[in-house]
Chains A and B, each alone.
Chain A
Amino acid sequence: MRIPISWLRDFAALPDDAGAIADRLAMLGFPVAAIEKRPTITGVVTGRIVALEKHPNADRLQVAQVDIAGGSALTIATAATNVANGQTIAVATVGAQLPALKIERRTMRGVVSHGMMISADELALPADWFEDGILQLDGTTPLGVDVVELFGLAAEVLDVEITTNRPDAMSVIGLARELAASYGVPLRLPSFVNPGEAAEPAAEAPHVILESADCHRYVAQRFDGVSVEAAPAWMRVRLALAGQRPINNLVDVSNYVMLETGQPLHFYDADRIENGKLIVRSAREGETIVTLDGVARKLSPQALVIADEGQPLCLAGLMGGMAGEVASETRAIVLEAANFNGTRIRRMSASLGMRSEASARHEKSLAPALTDIGAARAAQLLSALGATAYRPHEFGASVAPAQPIALPVREAERVLGLAIPKERIERHLRALGCDVASTESNVLSVRPPAWRRDLGIAVDLIEEIARIEGYERIDAVEPSVPPHAISSARFELERRVAHALAALGYHEVITYSLQGASLSERMPRASVAASEPAVEVRNPLSEEQRFLRSSLLPGLLDYLESYGPTVRVFEIGDVFAADQNRILEQTSVAFGFAADPSPQPWHDSSFLRLKGDCEALLRKMTGRQADFSRGAGIGFHPGKTASVSVGDREVGKLGCIDPRVSRAFELEGNAYFCMLDLAALPEYETPRYRPPSKYPSTYRDIALVVGVEVSAREIERAVAAALGDICTAVRVFDEYRGPQAGEDRKSLAVRMTLQRYDATITDEEADAAVSRVLDAVRDEFGATIRA
């Protein structure tokens, strides 16, 4: 909201420094987005044209005598065409400093001109918001007065942000009250007496029917003797400084009162209201209105309108319609100062795609008491313009005084940690408009002012006290945190996994949880079986946000495609699946990389490296050895995928990505990933130490030729079983396929480590053990020794 500081100064004495005022507003809770400085303008005074003649030597020019109440009149030549004898205008005298030039005596076609008549542009006001030519002032303006001082043109304009709970502060008076309370200076309020109160009711009194519960209160007041023309210059200038374009005296009064008091108003041409009856109702389906901006709008029942018996005349609290608007012929008006349900106005505004200064206030639910205040100020200004005010009529709820709030004096200290004397508490609350009475000695009975709907309970008052006192007065204190039983285990688990993967050489990335069809359908379109239907977002901003991911894989493959094949990545994040009406969410861990295909199709060292990382990770997290068996997974190569288990629980999958999927993601080479379900990981099992044997170990290597379908794990298990206790380790360490093994056969090299705990193992014992092994594998697998 744009606030000229000169307007604020009408209501309270404030410091000269605009920066200080802006800082104070920020510390009251109203951040200032910008401070607009005004250019320096000096030497411009009010004057009256007392004589005007054509210029003797120039057709386009006129020569005026201008009385600036400083001795003899000034001779001033002008090219303006809107000047006339008797006008009151602004004149820049010799030596005056304007934004673009300095005024000197000038000879214009033989006539010496001792100054220049001023237009809005020279006062740094928007030229197209004012009359073409010289700015016209009120006939009652005193002469010889500095115009900048008169209109407050030197002071800065603040752009203030108001939080949604303080619509009362979307007004000059509202902010002036805040500053006065904070600086501890008196607030000089104008009178809020409506001149129409003392008048008779109008013969054709406006009648308003409230059909909608969303209009809580409606004040209607008739004015006769209205003539539509330009508003007085001081009002137009002040509106322009506040960023509001002057239109005519009636529209300007309504905008002026809205900016000053915070109550939006609307005026109707009284003679264009059918039967003098206004109805506040929901629009009917298909009803139309042409609003003041010339746009024809089709309405639904969501819109709230003020209508006469013939048609809607106004979108409530938002914008007036052209039918019923004041025009140059208007002689009588009906003023509307109304109070609406903020949510209704906000929804109407959103559905029509319209906003206005009025709706920006109404949508925050104004206080009903503002209606009387707004009507009174408008009535004062309209009367000063010569209109006749009739008695205002109220419809709907009357303004009830607020309920008093009991505020124990010590409560402020309890909440804020700052002891504030009772007198200061009372002073702050009264400065904000509260009625404060002491009941017992340490409980105050506080009645909030009628325009503050946001003050309802004791902490609301405590916030006010803190704001006026200044948050900076509260000292920072270290809390001592009492013990509690809340666990951080789940966070710590995820943290340990992340650091373990980083230690294994993977880089953590974060990908999008929301995906478009193009990403989430790449796997199904690659003829790989689709998973369950994805959870859909009802209101995405774009198609790329349509679905929640069901797996980390597409996002990570997309990452590899974007950032190159050499990166090793991991991600820990939630994935989603739809299960009838429920959403299943679980935390998934994925890590992997892209690599060139291995030279031997049956031995994949990239797979084995990933497997090693997985084993190392699971050993670190669970203290146990992971098991790997043939498995399958969506997006994984059907022959190169393992199911990963710890103990008897499956914890995830690991393998080469299905080449159809890799190709769909335009990856060169293969991709390898491990995906784990974080919640499935068993608890860490502390290892138990077993001291090594005092006796030396020995080893035997054998090469067994078996069918290609026999797994290394089966061989290891069979060998260990056959060896018994003297075996401390069995490990398949090489695989060979080729002519020496035979067709559909392979050779597995096995190292057996043998050791006894009670004596040194002898060669004979070792040899005998190997014999047992050979018998066992021959029987179970038809294994032979490699030649």
Chain B
Amino acid sequence: MTELAEIISDLQRRFAADADAADGEHSLENLRIEYLGRNGEVTKIRRTIGTLPAEQRPEAGKAINDAVAAMEARLDAVHAVLQSHALEEELATSIDVTFPAEMPQVGSIHPVRRIIEQTCDYFMRHGFAVVVGPEAEPDYYNFDALNIPSDHPAREGFDSFWLSDTVLLRPHTSPLQIRTMQQHKPPIAIVAPGKCFRRDAVDARHLFQFHQVEGLLVAEGIHFGHLKGMLTGLCRELFGAEQSVRFRPSYFPFTEPSAEVDTTCPKCKGTGAAAAAPCNMCGGSGWIELGGAGMVHPNVLREVGYDPEVYSGWAFGSGVERLGLPRYQVDDIRRFINSDPDFLEQLS
């Protein structure tokens, strides 16, 4: 018996020394296996209990169990200390947060779509619907129904791409206005974005393929003041709350009165100058053109079956890439159709 007691206390002495020397989770685990594992020291000692007389075995077993409990407690304690040190060390570590990030692979929508969405969202907030439609349209929807008679300059084939005797690539999205008015009774509140085509030579300010957004509101009691209100709001939406908006008389066959709409040049903020030279975005006038607008001509209303004595409305149209030039201060309109990756990345 005392022999067992000696063995146990010798075991505990060796264990204590080894536990003191444990320098990490790994050596702690080895210690556990060596002493308390399936083939460890304690197991060997337990096997010797069978050689003891029967009445000594319970006491021997208890002594071993007590020793095991103490060893396990010690292991747990050391483990806790190791954990606590590791935690302290971790909390004391810092990293360079200014190191460049690993960027996710995000895509982008085209700046043209972004301008269209911003414009359409503005109108949708005011109760307008957004309509889209085909790019190849008969001349009736492009001209006749818009009060552009067959001998008007706009029809002469100078300006449009023709696909047959009567079908052309739409030079504006106005056909959607006519179609919508044919399919619905008033009130009509729509905005119509889309791709358009004009037979223009391409340069820094002109494309032959571009996008437009047109708007139309027809109901009872609509007047020119409403047109001003809506477009002033649109200019502020696109260019900032401080924008001034100016309406100048003009001429379109499908509106009367007609207007050209200008807003403050965002590059020179309306001063007309940039770095002691005339501003090259607005040519020095301090204004950029938003587009054309006006009250819908009675002939157009009559053509779709509306009574101009009862209903009135306004319409407007803007070139999207044309708006993109001052919006993003782009130097050349061709960048919108080239869509080069650097351009898309900068404006995304």
Residue of B117, B156, B189 touching A481 (CB-CB under 8 A): B189
Q: Is the CB of A466 within 8 A of B224?
A: yes
Check A585–B162 contact: CB distance below 8 A.
no
Asked if B28 CB lies within 8 Å of chain A CBs, one says no
Can you list 16 A-B pairs, Cβ within 8 angstroms, ordered by A?
A: A415-B224, A417-B226, A466-B249, A471-B224, A477-B225, A479-B217, A482-B187, A482-B219, A483-B127, A484-B188, A510-B112, A511-B337, A539-B161, A574-B134, A581-B164, A585-B136
A475→B232 CA distance, assembly (Å): 11
User: Is B167 in contact with A475, judged by CB distance below 8 angstroms?
Assistant: no
| Interface 9-residue window, one of B45-53, B86-94, B264-272, B338-346 | B338-346
Q: Is the CB of A163 within 8 A of B250?
A: yes
Contact residues of A between 538 and 568, Cβ < 8 Å to B: 538-541, 545, 548, 559, 562-564, 567-568
Q: Are B129 and A488 in contact (CB under 8 A)?
A: yes
User: Chain B 85-129 against A: per-residue CB contact (8 Å), 1 yes, 0 no?
Assistant: 000000000000000000011111110110001001000101111
SS of B interface (majority): mixed
Set A507, A511, A539: member contacting B157, Cβ < 8 A: A539
In the complex formed, the residue of B with least CB distance to A165 is B251
B67 nearest CB across to chain A (Å): 40
Q: When A498-B109, A508-B113, A583-B163 are in contact, do A490 and B223 touch as well, CB less than 8 Å?
A: no
Measured CB to CB, the closest approach of chain A to B234, in angstroms, equals 11
User: Is A499 part of the binding interface, using a Cβ–Cβ cutoff of 8 Å?
Assistant: yes
Quick one: CB contact mask for A505-545 with B, threshold 8 Å, 1 for yes? 11111111110000000000000000000011111110001
From B34-42, B76-84, B253-261, the one touching the partner chain is B253-261
Distance in Å from the Cβ of B171 to the closest Cβ of chain A?
Answer: 13
Inter-subunit contact B341/A585 (CB<8 Å): no
- 4 nearest CB pairs, A to B: A417-B225, A29-B249, A417-B223, A481-B127
> Is the beta-carbon distance between B162 and A537 smaller than 8 angstroms?
yes
Given A417-B223, A485-B184, A511-B131 contact (CB < 8 Å) = no
A interface bracket (residues with beta carbon within 8 Å of B)? 35 or more
Name A479's contact: one of B136, B164, B230, B344 (CB within 8 Å). B230
- Nearest B residue to A567 by beta-carbon distance? B341
Task: Give the residues in chain B near A505, CB-CB below 8 Å.
Answer: 104-107
**A26 CA to B285 CA, complexed, in Å:** 12
User: Contact between B153 and A346 (Cβ–Cβ < 8 Å)?
Assistant: yes
- Nearest-CB distance from A542 to chain B (Å)? 9
Once A479-B226, A484-B129 are accepted as A-B contacts, the answer to whether A585 and B135 lie under 8 Å apart by CB is yes
User: Which one of B107, B151, B162, B295 contacts A459 once the chains associate, using CB atoms below 8 Å?
Assistant: B295
Contact yes or no, B249 A487, CB < 8 A: no
Of B6-14, B54-62, B195-203, B325-333, the stretch lying at the interface with chain A is: B195-203
Q: Is A576 an interface residue (CB 8 A)?
A: yes
15 new A-B pairs (CB below 8 Å) besides A499-B109, A506-B107? A27-B249, A29-B248, A31-B260, A414-B223, A416-B257, A476-B232, A484-B184, A488-B129, A490-B131, A505-B104, A510-B110, A511-B337, A537-B163, A538-B162, A538-B164
A507 to B130, CA, bound (A): 24
Q: Which positions in B face A, CB cutoff 8 Å?
A: 104-110, 112-113, 117, 120, 124, 126-132, 134-136, 151, 153, 156-158, 161-164, 167, 169, 180, 184, 187-190, 193, 195, 197, 199, 201, 208-209, 217, 219, 221-226, 228-230, 232-233, 245-251, 256-260, 295, 297-298, 312, 336-337, 339-341, 344, 348
Partner of A478, one of B107, B156, B229, B336: B229
Query: What residues of B have a CB within 8 angstroms of the CB of A548 in the complex?
Result: 136, 163, 169
- Bound complex: CA of A485 vs CA of B135, how far in Å? 24
Report if A459-B108 is in contact (Cβ < 8 Å); known contacts: A491-B132, A514-B197, A540-B161: no
Asked if A216 is at the interface (CB within 8 A of a chain B CB), the reply is no
Q: Which A residues lie at the B interface, using CB under 8 A?
A: 26-29, 31, 163-166, 342-343, 346-347, 350, 413-418, 457, 459-460, 462-463, 466-467, 471-472, 474-479, 481-488, 490-492, 494-495, 498-499, 501-514, 535-541, 545, 548, 559, 562-564, 567-568, 570, 573-574, 576, 581, 583, 585
Nearest neighbor of A586 in chain B, beta-carbon distance: B134
Query: Chain A contacts of B161 at CB under 8 A?
Result: 514, 537-540, 545
Contact in complex: B257, A491 (CB < 8 Å): no
Q: Which of A418, A467, A541 contacts B249 (CB 8 A)?
A: A467
Closest CB-CB distance, A608 to chain B, in whole Å?
A: 16
Q: Is the CB of A568 within 8 A of B197?
A: no
Nearest Cβ in chain A — how far from B302, in angstroms?
11
The answer on a CB contact under 8 Å between B225 and A474 is: yes
- Inter-subunit contact B124/A488 (CB<8 Å): yes
Minimum Cβ distance to chain B for residue A566 (Å):
9
Q: Is the CB of B195 within 8 A of A476?
A: no
Contact between chains at B162 and A539 (CB < 8 Å): yes
**From A460, which residue of chain B is reached at the shortest CB distance?**
B256
CA–CA, A26 and B107, complex, Å:
45
Q: Which residue of B lies closest to A568 (CB)?
A: B107
A463-B256, A479-B226 as given contacts; A164 in contact with B131, CB under 8 Å = no
Contact of A471 among B129, B134, B189, B248 (CB under 8 A): B248
CA distance A545 to B339 in the complex (A): 19
Residue of B nearest to A514 (CB): B209
A residues within 8 A CB of B107?
501-508, 568, 570
Q: How far is the CA of A637 from the CA of B323 in the complex (A)?
A: 42
